[in-house]
Structure 1
Amino acid sequence: MFGPEIPAEASSAVYHGSTRRRPTAVDYGRCFLMSVRNVRQARKWNVQHCRTTPHRTLHWSRVPIDALGSIAATFGGTRNDVYIAAMAHSLAHWLGIMSDLPDPPDLAFAVPANIRRPEEVDLPGNRTALTHIRLPATSLDPAQRIAGTIRATMPLKSPYVRAALRAGVDYVPMWLARATVNTIAGRRRGPVGVSQITLRHRLAFRGSPFTAVYPVMCAPAGTPLAVFSFTYEGYATVCFRADIGFPGLDGIHHTWRETIRTWSMSALLGS
């Protein structure tokens, strides 16, 4: 399915910004502060008429990566920043409908960071570190929304912070890692999961090429929504898994796609 062997330097599986430089105390400090801040600020999803259930919806939305790219070029950042910013914008819109809170708490997002080194390209399993960011739940224009997302994701773009995250995964005791995750993602406290993978090489099976890939995501207990974007052959296809106990989230895929369309039109018009 994956075709001939891909050299490590061209593989989609590894983090190509990997560095062998040892993380500094500042790098470790940034990772520690991110973890502490999110543990301390973990909140319940106290939204009227919402409750957690074991049942999930399953939807997909598909947009051209050129649309994400044009928005990123106009407002700054990366396609992944635009993907996350549009998700925050969509959730803020949903909260505005579902809740009458004048000052809603920030939206919490869990963002897996790839920490697989090039020499580990053939090892089975995942090599990721789960990081957390917080974005405003208030109404913002596209420039403000994307600028805030860029600031929030900036540490994750540093190869030295990634090296510190890798060290944390390798050396932090499992009991401490579990305790941290359980605190952040306890009952009705789960952050929204936003994952992204870009596949740079075409897939084929017995000589027949894959024209599209529709990924499937899971949403753990206590998590109202989890999304997974898979970029392949010029399109980003996003899987949405929403808890059915949160009315309106089953349509968030429409809101996200419309947000991308609206922002893309603004980018084309030069605003």
Structure 2
Amino acid sequence: MLVLAVIWVLLGTAGLYVMLRSGVPPRPPGEAVLDGTVSSDLHGWTVRSAADPVTMERRTGLSGPRRIDTAVELKRSGDSGPWAFALVGLADPVRFFRIDGVYRMQLYVRDLDASGRPVTLQVANGAGQHRPTTATVGGGFTDRSWHRLSRTFVATATASEDTALYLSLPPSGPLHWQLTLASVTPLSLSPPPEISSAPRTLPAGATLPPGSYVEVVVPAGGTPALRLGSFDVFGPDGIRPVADGRAHRYGVYLDAESAWLYVDRSVRGVLFARDVERAGGEWSFGGVAGSGPVSMWVGGVPS
């Protein structure tokens, strides 16, 4: 008994007794989410609603994605309100996110009502603030299958202690969702090379060779637009325009696997072909169109 007591004291001194007592499982290396599969309990998960309360329970014995058999279940009988959301806690988000770092957020969801009403995933606190990125990803589903919400992003601001993985829920009516495999991890990626060659002006509808950077200059007060086929660089999965009354350069470097998004030749986001295609989008090198003359560089991004 004395030996056990000594061990317990040593563990407590090291701060390890918190994990042993609470049952919080160790996180995989690089993972920020406290317990993305609710493998032990609902630690780190919360749900809020402005109207009818949303209940939250841990479900086991499920046939989930990647052989996961646990999930959070959210239910509401009805009523309406301006907002409802679920939060998944992160470990030390202030240290985890660094400006210009590349990360991936992920959550598997299924709508057991097959309502088609959308949900949106982002990184924020409960007030939708303290966001290291403005990137979001969402969808609405008319089946009861599991769907993966995933978005790669570049951190453009610092986080705060209350920054979390934030899922906006349908604000009104009944809901019945299950969530699992929540994750936020860093990615080790090298940005495209810098080059010093002169640009070419592209005609509308031109096709790019893979490994090209295209750019459009938008004057102060102008509305930016840059499309590559069906890919809208300024759409919900792309760059948000800068609203500061100044002219800006908006660009994208595109190859067979990734699209690096730029504002004033500084990286602001990255998308992957597999994610766009999995969501039903088209990874296109043709149909270039912009709100002004489109310039192109081949082989990298102008320095």
TM-score, length of structure 1 as denominator length = 0.22
More helix by percentage: 1
More relative contact order, 1 or 2 (CA 8 Å, 6+ apart): 1
